[in-house]
Amino acid sequence: MAVDTLLLELGAEELPPTALDALSDAFAAGIEKGLQEAEIPFQAVTAYATPRRLAVQVTGLADKQPDREVERRGPALAAAFKDGAPTKAAEGFARSCGVSVDDLIHLETDKGTWLGYREQQQGDSVQALLPEMVRKTLQSLPVPKNMRWGASRVEFSRPVHWLVALYGNEVITAEALGLQASRTTYGHRFHAPDAIQLEHADDYLAALENAYVLADRQRRRERIREQVLAEAEVQEANAVIDEDLLVEVSGLVEWPVALTGSFDERFLEVPAECLISSMKANQKYFHLLDDRGKLKPLFITISNIESQDPDQVISGNEKVIRPRLADAAFFYDTDRKHTLASRIPQLESVVFQQQLGTLADKARRSTAIATFIAERIQGDVAHAQRTVALAKCDLVTEMVLEFPELQGIMGRYYAEQDGEPAEVAQALEEQYLPRFASDAIPQSLTGQALALADRLDTLVGIFGIGQRPTGAKDPFALRRASIGVLNILVKGELNLDLRELLQVAADQHQNLPKADGLVEDVLTYMLDRFRAWGQEEGISAEMYLAVRARPVTKPLDFARRLRAVKAFAQREEAAALAAANKRVSNILSKQEHDGSTQVEASLLQEAAEKALFEAVTASQQQVAPLFAAGDYQQALDALATLREPVDAFFDQVMVMADDDAIRRNRLALLASLQALFLEVADISQLPQ
């Protein structure tokens, strides 16, 4: 069986840059899946993509499927012969196989003996199998939006122009999207527009690079990074390379060339975030900072051509960026003519959610929640109330309407200009923290109160109208809101009861259709998010379930227990004690035990049960202050010493004694042992 390289390339008009990675990966995955299903051996599948092409290269691909033995089963032996002669069923099966009855074999199965036939089936060639594979893959690509062009009925993300399908040096006869496959590809639209005849599939990358095309996405991305850093070094500045922007820019060019331009220093009077958002969103520019972290009046653009007159390209970009930055300056100047507080009435007409009212309604509800939280965490109640009132006012400013990603940031700038207290201004920006699981939390108490109040109101409200998240839909980002609440409470070391907070939030809503059981429903949902939260800290599902089994509703306390159980699980005693607790749980659940943990010392008979009683009693006294202080890890470390007396008890003592009093006393001893561990978690859930 021969092996060679397969190359597939689809040429098109400029594809959407933000969808390029997904399209490229799906193209490669579709071909790989097709080859696997066809059982054709291959070495590796690599995806390539530029704005004008999607490509897949498969190395070490066998030229055909392996031959295989096919077994066919016919009628049962009892129905195949009558009086020693073949029946019509046997003869019909033999004809369908193209042989005589004498050539058939007997197949032994667990359901009896059957007539059968085995034959060698030749594997199909790559040439025969690939056309349908390509067609199916292209049809299933995650195209954001299809379009048609000309009089064609073909649909794709952009008009397509060529299709390359090469196996080694042979063209595969295939058709897709109205294109016939060939060995012809094309280089850079301007630098090398002529057709390129690929002699072999292995020539792909080198041939395109000679034609000013870097087809390797990662290599193109890294070249952009290197060029941006080099340009910044020339300017004695620090380049800020946003990874999402880098991906998008690499999806806009085939031959990247970094150039540095400048803009008027007067624009630096506008907050840097506004200028940066304008440069990134509108022009896809990288910005530069000085050694103090201040924005410099410079930008780096990535051109798709290697111009003979780069100054002309730079000048053109400078002309384009000037009105963009002027717009940002205009928005900023216009917004500053009105205070944030003067915008509060506008929130009455901005709908948060149809059934939950306006942003003004949300602010009124959040004020009560934030007040409650601020009181509990010794924050400034007046600051919390003022911050809630102003929290959403920047959403109706010109700047945030143009650049939504600046919400909160502009609130801080405008609050500072209005002379609001520093902590109020800071909290306006912090209200959106954390934006993702590993993000920083608000540092000010006012920011923490606002961030919690806003999320809790949203969670209770959306659940209360029956729109809890599903596996596919979470339009109000309730999963992220839940993890945000947990992170603030845990990382901020706020020992607040989540059930109590949710009840306060629920009390602010009127006539919610799903009000019955609402607090417990949201509480369960949020505590279940600890499973994902714990994964960040290497906490297994079993550890999570061990803590989740306990009625713990304070996230900070929950997290401390999780970390303690994680540390305990590393001890050599953990598995044995987990198994013992599992055994105790099973014994107590099967017996008519009243739950008593009161042990009568006079009823203890065996040395092992006396030793366990003494060990449990000593441990109770030792760990009680540790439990009270929330030092669960040290408490579990102390309880680990119970392994030996527990093992001895189960080895030497018959729990289910004939004497009823002795039996109940031993059950009480086990219940007291179990209760010690349950002060932290149900460790019987741990691996044993």
Separation CA 369–CA 387 (nearest Å): 12
What are the DSSP calls for 429-488, one per residue?
HHTT--SSTTSPPP-SHHHHHHHHHHHHHHHHHHHHTT----SS--TT-HHHHHHHHHHH
DSSP code, position 688:
-
Q: In what order do the strands lie in the sheet containing 170-171?
A: 44-50, 53-62, 3-12, 160-167, 170-171
Pairing status of strand 257-262 against strand 295-303: antiparallel
Separation CA 340–CA 390 (nearest Å): 7
pLDDT(27) > 80? yes
pLDDT at 105 (0 to 100): 79
Domain annotation for the chain: domains and CATH numbers:
3-65+125-210 (3.30.70.260), 69-120 (no CATH), 218-320 (no CATH), 341-536 (1.10.3210), 572-685 (1.10.730)
Look over the chain and give the mean of its residue pLDDT values, rounded to a whole number: 91
pLDDT digits (tens, 9 = 90+) for 245-286: 999 999 999 999 999 999 999 999 999 999 999 999 989 999
pLDDT at 594 (0 to 100): 65
pLDDT at 113 (0 to 100): 84
Pairing status of strand 44-50 against strand 53-62: antiparallel
Residues in the chain: 688
Separation CA 466–CA 478 (nearest Å): 13
| Look-up of token digits 């030497």 | 652
pLDDT(12) > 90? yes
What are the DSSP calls for 659-673, one per residue?
SHHHHHHHHHHHHHH
Q: Which amino acid appears at position 536 of this protein?
A: E
Assess contact for 123 and 65: CB atoms under 8 A. yes
Q: Which residues pair with 117 in a beta bridge?
A: 72
Separation CA 248–CA 242 (nearest Å): 10
Rounded average pLDDT over 39-58: 96
Cβ neighbours for 236, distance < 8 A, ≥ 6 positions apart: none
Two tokens at 339?
Answer: 């205070």
pLDDT at 533 (0 to 100): 82
pLDDT(592) > 70? no
Helices 381-390 and 359-376 sit at what angle, rounded to 10 degrees? 160
If we measure between CA atoms, which residue out of 293, 447, 277 comes closest to residue 370? 447
Rounded average pLDDT over 71-97: 82
Two tokens at 287?
Answer: 């910005």
Task: Among 125-129, 229-233, 683-687, name the most confident range.
Answer: 229-233
Two tokens at 190?
Answer: 């301007």
Q: For the stretch 435-474, what's the b/e string if a residue is b when 16 or more beta carbons lie within 10 angstroms of its beta carbon?
A: eeeeeebbebbbbbbbbbbbbbbbbbbbbbbebbbeeeee
If residue 74 lies in a helix (H) or strand (E), which one and from where to where? strand 68-76
pLDDT at 593 (0 to 100): 61
Assess contact for 362 and 351: CB atoms under 8 A. no
pLDDT digits (tens, 9 = 90+) for 448-467: 999 999 999 999 999 999 99
Confidence of residue 227 (pLDDT cuts 50, 70, 90): very high
Number of Cβ within 10 Å of residue 34's Cβ equals 17
pLDDT digits (tens, 9 = 90+) for 642-664: 888 888 888 887 878 778 788 88
pLDDT digits (tens, 9 = 90+) for 330-355: 999 999 999 999 999 999 999 999 99
E strands present in 207-344: 238-239, 257-262, 286-289, 295-303
11-15, 209-213, 581-585, range with the lowest pLDDT: 581-585
pLDDT digits (tens, 9 = 90+) for 527-562: 999 888 888 788 888 999 999 999 999 999 999 999
